């Protein structure tokens, strides 16, 4: 590491004229290449039960796609709906149907105001955008090393009937890489809620997206809820977005039979059915859990070195800087770089001047407001290994310069 | 035609043990075969502007897909958004975003109650289901031979500020096959509305779906609205559902720049982007307007004989029955069989007993209630020619039996 003044080092870095986008958790082209089987010609369009996948209909998805996601999510196929691309859209629509039409046996959420969601922070900006844009109030909940602070969560949901939902990324959370402990999962499933129509929005986006060798398990949230006497509490979301092709995957919703029936009824108003041909393509590519796990191992082989290089650069350039830390995730797509209070925004601005586009500071918080201005989300997946190496150094120099100013 | 008593004829028909579903306007397998190019291997995944269609992003659709639908809809590409499958979903989401978030410069529709839509009847049941399910009141408007009764429409929208929208299938309407006249289009574009955020939901589902030789034109609704000083009045919806594959097509929204910007912002909350790979597949298959028109000519060659046989059977078996009439559409997917008051439901029930599933009587009206119980929607597209011939006879016999009872 250079002993030159930090401004000099930063200026030298800026001179490189880098142009890198690390703002989003996009798979790299080499990862997309792993699913090039999707480019093959379609070998027949008839599903196992005789359905012509080209035509209208089949709102719950084709049987073999439901079976696949049932196996992947450890849920009976009958409790799985497979839809077109994007679990985010399924989450959005669950919120919209709940707001406008109400959950099974309950009035529309909108019939009393405010409607409130708990948001463990830092969290996923697109979750928070759904709430902000569709008129749902958000309350921050601190995230610990084993998940959201359950003492805070239990106290809030027990006392405030306006709290209708809570965002959860239970495994390798975005951006902190937190894995919920068994105890946190069971407390979420069992806690008393003042709102009888409270729902956990269980975004299982990174279920198979391991970076370490260890394949972290977790109690099945639907089973945990059922065992605790709250069978309808959780909606589980998953997709093939970061398994096959990010923009052209298939998405799945798993829930109790009552929630699935409710979803199917309301989604049937919106659409005559999902893209079943793409489901067929995916079933043929992904086949079963063993095939998916083997594919994810190849993703890991591409991603792990990128994370390692960021961690190594941060260690080299930031290891001795007081007040700076970062997460070392065992899965998922992000590293959360924690800065001393008040310098995250400035760091992101300096990085931008040096040619590195990061997620806006604050994005991981409701309303884009990080109260401490101290979190920066690092997304190492898309750029090449060499670019990542450079970018991580540039971010580190930007942070040190921001601290020094 | 037999001179046997109608009950005898009906019973003989019933003995055939037919099992036919004519309830929905589904393309026949031979029609889907016309787009078998969608089964070919994907010859590259990079769009014209360099976009990797496999990855996230591109909320407005790839440029070449926007250009294609711009040409098809006679609208600048910049005023077209191409989304994933299903224009119905685009309509649903326009309604949802308007209800929850409000149109550009206006409060959410939900902020005052009721929210009302005008519904020309008979009309498309799935339009009405969106309103009923999402809490929008519906008012029936009589449909004439050249479109909705504009005297009624103008009077209603001018006096009732709760009327925020109107469903329109301007060409070959579902189910009556009505083509709006130029004058109706211009009056809709120019009429004074008490609600400043009133919208025409312009479902151009059958724009290229001709049955006759004549290719009926129509004023461009977006131009007509702009010329009348109401540039933001119309949302135009279209899709490739009945052009390529019904369940795996691409859908398009065309509107003013302000409406497109509004849509893009709100749709971006729901999704990180549409299935761009499927858009690429479609652009390569459909290419341009001339290619689409040639493809639609092949659809016509398959569909026209089915419509002709229904019309011929109705003429033979119902031509002399007082109070019975039917539409002779020059395009679209449906025939509206008009019965004497009070016998449509009974006819559908008798047809079902004879093995023919029809759209429920009343479905073409808001809340499923045909005040006269006198409309039956006939969907001849899916079954084979021989099946259609039989089915049309069975429907005719069912109707005559219902009248005689």
* B301: three-class secondary structure by DSSP: helix
Strand partners, A82: A252
The arithmetic mean of pLDDT across residues A7-14, rounded, is 96
Q: For residue A170, with 0-12 CB atoms within 10 Å meaning exposed, 13-18 middle and 19 or more buried, which class applies?
A: buried
pLDDT at A313 over 70: yes
In this predicted structure, what is the pLDDT of residue A217?
78
pLDDT in tens, B106-150: 999 999 999 999 999 999 999 999 999 999 999 999 999 999 999
Q: Which residue of A has its CA nearest to B278?
A: A248
Provide CB contacts within 8 A for A254, sequence distance 6+.
A69, A70, A73, A75, A79, A80, A81, A222, A235, A236, A238
Q: CA-to-CA distance for A59 and A273, rounded, in angstroms? A: 4
For residue A39, what is the DSSP state? G
In this predicted structure, what is the pLDDT of residue A2?
77
Note whether B245 contacts A54, CB cutoff 8 Å.
yes
- Other Cβ atoms less than 10 A from the Cβ of B290: the count is 9
Q: Per the structure block, which two tokens stand in for B397?
A: 């016999």
The answer to whether B258 touches B199, Cβ cutoff 8 Å, is no
Note whether A245 contacts B272, CB cutoff 8 Å.
no
Alpha-carbon gap: A97 to the closest alpha carbon of chain B (Å) = 8
Alpha-carbon gap: A227 to the closest alpha carbon of chain B (Å) = 32
In this predicted structure, what is the pLDDT of residue B238?
98
pLDDT at B300 over 70: yes
Provide CB contacts within 8 A for A217, sequence distance 6+.
none
The answer to whether A60 touches A66, Cβ cutoff 8 Å, is yes
Taking alpha carbons only, the member of B243, B378, B379 closest to residue B299 is: B243
Taking alpha carbons only, the member of A242, A233, A161, A162 closest to residue A202 is: A233
Domain ranges of chain B: 6-25+293-404, 38-287
H helices within A271-288, ranges in order? Answer: 276-286
The arithmetic mean of pLDDT across residues B161-190, rounded, is 97
pLDDT at B216 over 80: no
- Of all residues in chain B, what percent carry a pLDDT higher than 70? 99
- What's the length of chain A? 405
Taking alpha carbons only, the member of A80, A252, A83, A93 closest to residue B247 is: A83
Indicate the pLDDT class of residue A118, thresholds 50, 70 and 90. very high
Taking alpha carbons only, the member of A222, A217, A206, A228 closest to residue A254 is: A222
* Chain A neighbors of B84, CB-CB under 8 A: 84-85, 275
pLDDT at B3 over 90: no
Domain B38-287 falls in which CATH fold? 3.40.640
The answer to whether A188 touches A168, Cβ cutoff 8 Å, is yes
Q: CA-to-CA distance for B150 and B162, rounded, in angstroms? A: 18
Q: Per the structure block, which two tokens stand in for B358?
A: 């029809």
Q: Which residue of A has its CA nearest to B242?
A: A55
The answer to whether A101 touches B67, Cβ cutoff 8 Å, is no
Taking alpha carbons only, the member of B275, B252, B88 closest to residue A282 is: B275
* Chain A neighbors of B278, CB-CB under 8 A: 248, 275, 278
Indicate the pLDDT class of residue A1, thresholds 50, 70 and 90. low
CATH 1.10.10.10 fits A6-25+293-404, yes or no: no
ipTM: 0.96
Note whether A134 contacts B101, CB cutoff 8 Å.
yes
The answer to whether B27 touches A55, Cβ cutoff 8 Å, is yes
- What is the count of residue pairs from A and B with beta carbons less than 8 Å apart? 158
In this predicted structure, what is the pLDDT of residue B1?
64
The arithmetic mean of pLDDT across residues B141-164, rounded, is 98
pLDDT at B276 over 90: yes
Note whether B270 contacts A92, CB cutoff 8 Å.
yes
In this predicted structure, what is the pLDDT of residue A85?
80
Q: CA-to-CA distance for A244 and A142, rounded, in angstroms? A: 33
Taking alpha carbons only, the member of B135, B56, B380 closest to residue A205 is: B56
pLDDT at B6 over 90: yes
Strand partners, A140: A119
Question: Is the overall model pTM greater than 0.90, yes or no?
Answer: yes
Question: Phi/psi zone of residue B367: left (φ > 0), alpha (ψ -120 to 50 degrees), beta?
Answer: left
In this predicted structure, what is the pLDDT of residue B88?
97
H helices within B253-319, ranges in order? Answer: 257-270, 276-286, 289-318
Q: What is the DSSP string of B118-170?
A: EEEES--HHHHHHHHHHT-EEEEEEEETTEE-HHHHHHHHHH-TTEEEEEE--
- Which residue among A96, A272, A275 sits closest to B84, beta carbon to beta carbon? A275
Please, what is the angle between helix A125-134 and helix A87-100, to 10°?
A: 30
Alpha-carbon gap: B338 to the closest alpha carbon of chain A (Å) = 27
Q: CA-to-CA distance for B19 and B34, rounded, in angstroms? A: 26
- Which residue among B27, B101, B276 sits closest to A55, beta carbon to beta carbon? B27
The arithmetic mean of pLDDT across residues A120-136, rounded, is 97
The Cα-based distances of B58 to A204, A227, B66 in angstroms read: 24, 43, 11
Arithmetic mean of pLDDT over chain B = 96
Omega into B122 within 30° of 0, i.e. cis?
yes
In this predicted structure, what is the pLDDT of residue B2?
77
Provide CB contacts within 8 A for B335, sequence distance 6+.
B175, B177, B307, B310, B311, B326, B327, B328, B329, B377, B378, B380
pLDDT in tens, A195-249: 999 999 999 999 999 999 877 679 999 999 999 999 999 999 999 999 999 999 9
Note whether B247 contacts A58, CB cutoff 8 Å.
yes
Q: CA-to-CA distance for A326 and A314, rounded, in angstroms? A: 8
pLDDT at B352 over 70: yes
């Amino acid at each position: 590491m250079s002993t030159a003044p930090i401004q000099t080092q930063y200026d030298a870095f800026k001179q490189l004229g880098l142009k890198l986008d690390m703002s989003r958790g996009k798979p790299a082209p080499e990862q997309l290449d792993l699913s090039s089987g999707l480019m093959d010609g379609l070998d027949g369009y008839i599903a196992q039960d005789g359905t012509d996948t080209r035509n209208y209909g089949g709102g719950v998805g084709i049987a073999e796609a439901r079976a696949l996601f049932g196996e992947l999510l450890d849920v009976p196929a009958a409790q799985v709906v497979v839809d077109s691309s994007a679990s985010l859209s399924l989450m959005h629509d669950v919120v919209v149907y709940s707001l406008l039409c109400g959950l099974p046996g309950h009035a529309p959420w909108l019939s009393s105001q405010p409607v409130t969601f708990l948001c463990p922070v830092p969290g996923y900006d697109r979750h928070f955008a759904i709430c902000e844009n569709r008129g749902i109030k958000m309350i921050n909940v601190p995230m610990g090393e084993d998940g959201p602070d359950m003492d805070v969560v239990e106290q809030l949901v027990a006392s405030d009937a306006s709290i209708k939902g809570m965002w959860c990324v239970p495994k390798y959370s975005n951006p902190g890489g937190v894995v919920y402990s068994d105890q946190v999962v069971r407390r979420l499933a069992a806690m008393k809620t003042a709102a009888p129509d409270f729902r956990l929005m269980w975004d299982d986006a990174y279920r198979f997206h391991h970076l370490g060798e260890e394949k972290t398990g977790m109690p099945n949230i639907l089973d945990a809820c059922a065992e605790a006497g709250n069978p309808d509490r959780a909606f589980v979301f998953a997709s093939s977005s970061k398994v096959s092709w990010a923009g052209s995957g298939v998405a799945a919703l798993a829930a109790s039979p009552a929630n699935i029936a409710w979803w199917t009824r309301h989604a049937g108003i919106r659409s005559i059915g999902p893209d079943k041909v793409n489901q067929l393509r995916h079933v043929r590519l992904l086949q079963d859990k063993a095939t998916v796990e083997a594919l994810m191992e190849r993703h890991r082989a591409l991603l792990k070195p990128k994370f390692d290089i960021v961690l190594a650069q941060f260690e080299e350039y930031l290891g001795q800087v007081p007040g700076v830390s970062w997460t070392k995730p065992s899965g998922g797509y992000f590293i959360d770089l924690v800065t001393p209070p008040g310098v995250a925004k400035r760091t992101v601005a300096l990085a931008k001047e040096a040619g590195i586009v990061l997620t806006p500071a604050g994005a991981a918080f409701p309303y884009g407001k990080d109260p401490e201005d101290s979190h920066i989300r690092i997304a190492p997946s898309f750029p090449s290994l060499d670019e990542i190496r450079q970018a991580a150094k540039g971010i580190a120099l930007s942070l040190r310069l921001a601290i020094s100013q």
